[in-house]
Amino acid sequence: MSSLRIHDLSVREGTRELVSRISLHVAQGEIVAVLGPNGAGKTTLLEAIAGLRAASGTVTIAGQGGPSFAQRAARLNYMPDDMILPEELTLGTALALKSGAAMVQRLGIEPLLSVRASQVSRGESKRAQLAAALTLQRPVMLLDEPFGAFDPRQLRALLPIFREAVRGAAVLVTIHQMHIAERLADRLLLLSQGRAVAVGTLDELRAKANAPAAPLDDVFLRLLDEDARHEPF
Amino acid sequence: MSLSDLCRRELGIVLGARVTWLVLAASALLVGHSFVLAIDLFSAASRSAAAFVLMAREMDPLAGVVRPMLGGLQLAASVLLPLIAARGLALERERRSYGALAIAVGGTTRVVAAKCLAAAVAPCLMLLPVGLSLALFVGFGGHVAARETTVALTGHWLHGLAIVAVSVAAAAATRTFAQAALLGIAVSLGSWAVDAGEGFAALAWLGRLEWVSVSERLQPFEQGVLSLGATGWLLSLTIGALAVAISAARFTDGLRRALPVLAILAVLGAALWMFGNLSRAYDASEQQRMSLPPSVIKALRALEQPIRIEVWLDRDDGRRAQFERDALAKLRLARPDLTLIYPLDGLDRPNEAARDADYGRIVLRVGKALRQTRSTSRRELITLLFEAAGRVLPDWSQPQYSGYPVVIDGWARTLLATAAYGLIPGVFLIGGWLLTRDRRRRR
């Protein structure tokens, strides 16, 4: 079964708790968007699930609990936000992308494959990284800000392709742009200071924020404000 | 990402980096400079030797030409090779692409192994200038014995591999390229501190660390002697450093990261100590000139009693160095099991005070029998050994090494110098430029 289940996941760095007791289940075919202000722990959460950071709690990937890093690596795919590709290599070699591959053609990056990573824009690099992530078919996908460098026209074309490509996987994706999260995600996880402030569908979050028809960014701000009022000093 | 994709990627990072080609060019220049100086000295000595047969026998191209070049190579490998070897993994960590890469290929071990394999190309390329220079030397009438030269190059190749593994381990244990390169260079130069103590009585305490000296390990190779101890030492260092790299590159922290690394370092230390004290070796030099005469070797090996030698000489005494280079090295080839003791090295008091009546003695024990001398002459020492064993000195005759004097001067010397200083480093620079230049992207 392609699903991701995390229970009581915490990440500490010295005395600071970067992620605090997060529990979540992402079902096969479900997209959960992780939202939160800067420093909320979105990237740390993804890194902990991927096994790139020491964490407490349990992570079950595709039915396997507490897997080693190699076992996790075989079942999930991770696309970091701020990765810089080796400038000596072409995009094709750096990401092992072959011309003619379905995702390469659908994202229109075939001409970029023979171009050095040092000579492409951030958006082009990001597009190639996303193509590589979507090409690697794994049961669980962890994507950190995959849409950050796309212009609106590209996004309009990309989102349906993305949805189709991840159809069989459990996807946890961090997103800063609320309108994308609104369009793409089945459920939303709102983080603040490493804690889960709210989890649910957009309607469930609206209900929690007492804003039945509000757009997601209003809901987001209301829930954060509400959380800040209850935050102990 | 498949393993072949990963290997192609890593090789691309090594060969696509300008620093790789600059390091190779600098290494070629160092080797070339050593080569030209060696040729000038060898030619000058050969001119004198032309008139005297005895002098001609001393004209040994392995010692006179190959060894100085390998000195240049050792310097380049120790100081520059970490820049190539540490770069791949260190930059991957700096660029935050390491985690995604490890997940894409299915584990950190594969990434580290691929990085090591790709970086191992560099020491192979660093040997090219040595090979080309020797080809030119032969082309101008010089003599190079294939077997002993191959042994010498093998030793330095193994040294290069060890530096690669140590540098990758340094990259795995640090956060940035600068830290990794500094640590790699520091470790690779660390053994030079031990070598620096040689010849200084005040630094006699460093003698206890001789088993970590890289130069000590390379010495037999440079004499055309294939030493099992030195080979095992260099291979252990490579494998141990690779194990440290694999362990330190895992995504764990605190004690879970430190304990396995410390355990590996402890095992590595034990392996280095063990191989550092292993004396078994095979003489691959031309006409086996590094060995004692065959009948003497046979007779020495036939002695059933243990041999123990006490040398009452300080580290800064020239006689001790002469004894080690000549008589001891040859004796060890015949009897690797002999026990050697330097009683003065263990004294805490200033050694000057210990230079009493006992000073300068070499005490030879075969079983319970004892002989002593103040001579470091090979023949005298072997004679006393057989005397102590109650045997007659066997036939001392040995095939005579004829020596290979050659004078390279005039236009030939100019051509060699041009190749050493210009052409060979230039090939690396131009090749590197062609491979790494930014081709303008057509938009």
| Contact flag B107-A116 (C-beta cutoff 8 Å) | no
Residues B75 and B34: their CA atoms lie apart, in Å, by 11
Quickly state the pLDDT bin for B346 (edges 50, 70, 90): low
Angle at A11 between CA A6 and CA A13, to 5 degrees: 170
Residues B393 and B399: their CA atoms lie apart, in Å, by 18
pTM above 0.80, yes or no: yes
| Contact flag A80-B97 (C-beta cutoff 8 Å) | yes
| Contact flag B13-A77 (C-beta cutoff 8 Å) | no
pLDDT at B441 over 80: no
pLDDT at B157 over 90: yes
pLDDT tens, position by position, B31-76: 999 999 999 999 999 888 877 777 888 889 999 999 999 999 999 9
| Nearest Cα to Cα of residue B112 among B250, B16, B262, B264 | B250
Q: Which residues of chain A are within 8 Å of residue B104 when distances are taken between CB atoms? A: 73, 77, 96, 132, 136
Could you count the other beta carbons within 10 Å of the beta carbon of residue B243?
20
DSSP symbol at A28: T
- pLDDT score, position B289: 87
Quickly state the pLDDT bin for A88 (edges 50, 70, 90): confident
pLDDT at B443 over 60: no
B234 touches chain A (CB under 8 A): no
Residues A45 and A147: their CA atoms lie apart, in Å, by 18
Predicted complex: ipTM over 0.90: no
Residues A89 and A97: their CA atoms lie apart, in Å, by 12
Residue B287's SS3 state is: helix
pLDDT tens, position by position, B321-334: 888 888 899 999 99
3-class DSSP string for A36-80: CCCCCCHHHHHHHHHCCCCCEEEEEECCEECCCHHHHHHHEEEEC
Quickly state the pLDDT bin for A16 (edges 50, 70, 90): confident
Q: Which residues of chain A are within 8 Å of residue B95 when distances are taken between CB atoms? A: 83-86
| Nearest Cα to Cα of residue B441 among A105, A114, A95, A86 | A114
- pLDDT score, position B424: 94
Query: Percent of chain A scored above 90 by pLDDT?
Result: 10
| Contact flag B251-A52 (C-beta cutoff 8 Å) | yes
CB B165 within 8 A of CB B121: no
Q: Which residues of chain A are within 8 Å of residue B91 when distances are taken between CB atoms? A: 86
B99 touches chain A (CB under 8 A): yes
Residues A145 and B294: their CA atoms lie apart, in Å, by 75
pLDDT at B204 over 70: no
Q: In this structure, what token pair is assigned to residue B150?
A: 């191959």
Across chain B, what does the average pLDDT equal? 88
Q: In this structure, what token pair is assigned to residue B184?
A: 């790699």
A86 touches chain B (CB under 8 A): yes
Mutate to test the interface with A, among B4, B103, B109 (most CBs of A within 10 A): B103
pLDDT at B308 over 70: yes
- pLDDT score, position B237: 94
- pLDDT score, position B1: 79
| Contact flag B104-A72 (C-beta cutoff 8 Å) | no
pLDDT at B205 over 70: no
Torsion angle defined by CA atoms of residues B279, B280, B284 and B286, in that order, rounded to the nearest 10 degrees: 60
Query: Percent of chain B scored above 90 by pLDDT?
Result: 50
Average confidence (pLDDT) over B276-290: 88
Quickly state the pLDDT bin for A217 (edges 50, 70, 90): confident
- By Cβ distance, the residue of A50, A53, A93 closest to B9 is A93
Helix or strand run (H / E) with residue B153:
helix B146-173
- pLDDT score, position B345: 76
pLDDT tens, position by position, B227-247: 999 999 999 999 999 999 999
A191 touches chain B (CB under 8 A): no
- pLDDT score, position B47: 87
Strands A170-174 and A187-192: unpaired
Which residue is listed with tokens 């200033």? B350
pLDDT at B160 over 90: yes
Quickly state the pLDDT bin for A96 (edges 50, 70, 90): confident
DSSP symbol at B352: G
- pLDDT score, position B429: 94
Quickly state the pLDDT bin for B439 (edges 50, 70, 90): low
pLDDT tens, position by position, B95-132: 888 988 999 888 889 999 999 999 999 999 999 999 99
